[in-house]
Amino acid sequence: MKMKNDRKHVLLIGVGLIGGSVALAIKKEHDAFIIGCDIKRDNCILAQKMNVIDAYTDNMEEEAVKADLIILACPVEKAEQILQVLANLPLRDHTIITDVGSTKGRIIEKAESLSFHGAVFIGGHPMAGSHKVGPGSAKAHLFENAFYILTPTEQVDPSIIAELKNWLKGTKANFIMMDAKQHDLVTGVVSHFPHIVAASLVRQVEKYASGNEHISSLAAGGFRDITRIASSSPEMWRDIVKHNQPMLLSLLNEWEKEMSEIRQLLNDGDSNQLYEYFSGAKHFRDSLPVRAKGAIAAFYDLYVDVLDSPGVISDITTLLAKEHISITNIRIIEAREDVYGVLRVSFQTENDLEKAKKSLNNRGYKTYMSM
């Protein structure tokens, strides 16, 4: 692979949404030559056409020994296997290896058991994503203002951590340092376990839906919204729960105790206690940052009050198109007991959401944002 001798060499293993977005962010700030490697060659071909990467290879080992930065943007189990391969290569001194996985305990344990001949592994987890996949959806600003957790071990020199942050400064993310155990606790509580709960709620409703024709249609409103995360990749979540198993089992035990408590409250039927339970939940939930990027990807939804009249949806989409505002989804809400507005319009970014709200309000539409 030919390249300018003065350019830094980045090897991106896994050329999808996350890896591609990291690559674009690096390109914003560095004159780096980025080579992609992916089990799906079509991902690499598309990414090169879109200038996400500069070239691609089927020979990961050949490119790894020339790399200044190696990014493992592949599933966690695959990343562990690749670490084993990298440990057997004559990597360059001070090469940084990092990953983007959602769990950190096992991969840090794996990295600590290996020697990379002068190279250094620093765990990473950019806590942002999208409901789209593949390099075609990659964006340099995907991680802007999102949390990007780094999990270096105590043996990693602070100057190497600073170098990795410099590589990633184009993400414009908020970097947080944690050890692997703390990371897996925090993400387990606010991300991994909620996905399990959402999936279990959907499975419960599915059992009733087969025997009652009204279930599916009525679940199309608020229920569908509060369980949207259950539509995430089953392959990804299979691997995540396997890698964070001890923490999730502990959280599940606590959840069962919580359910026992609410069962007792329901059994007792005490109005004051029931009020306090829901009031406490509301108070804490309302105290959370409204539009901050957290562990679960945000949904940029705008609810619009519209009358059932010919051309109203066309009027809205035309107005937004004239303002160059991209819509990712639009849907009429029929079961809207717990939402305001008849029409839900979804956007890719918070900026598009705010622009749409202003444009529609100026046109006389009443709009609501989910809180």
Segments making up each domain of the chain, as ranges: 8-178, 183-287, 300-369
pLDDT at 55: 97
Q: Which CATH superfamily is domain 300-369 in?
A: ACT domain (3.30.70.260)
Which residues in the chain come in under a pLDDT of 50? Answer: 1-4, 335-337
Residue 27 phi, psi (nearest 5)? -60, -30
Residue 102 in contact with residue 147, Cβ under 8 Å? Answer: no
pLDDT at 91: 95
Residue 227: closest CA among 205, 245, 210, 249 = 205
Q: Which CATH superfamily is domain 183-287 in?
A: 6-phosphogluconate dehydrogenase C-terminal like domain (1.10.3660.10)
pTM exceeds cut of 0.85: no
Residue 134 DSSP class: S
CA distance linking residue 18 with residue 226, whole number of Å = 24
pLDDT at 349: 77
CA distance linking residue 10 with residue 24, whole number of Å = 12
**Residue 336 contacts by C-beta under 8 Å, 6 or more apart in sequence?**
221, 222, 342
Strands in 300-305's sheet, in edge-to-edge order, are: 327-332, 343-347, 300-305, 366-369
Q: Which CATH class is domain 8-178?
A: alpha beta
Residue 342: closest CA among 324, 326, 325, 365 = 365
Residue 347: closest CA among 291, 269, 279 = 291
51 class by beta-carbon count within 10 Å (0-12 exposed, 13-18 middle, 19+ buried): exposed
- Count of other CB atoms within 10 angstroms of residue 219: 18
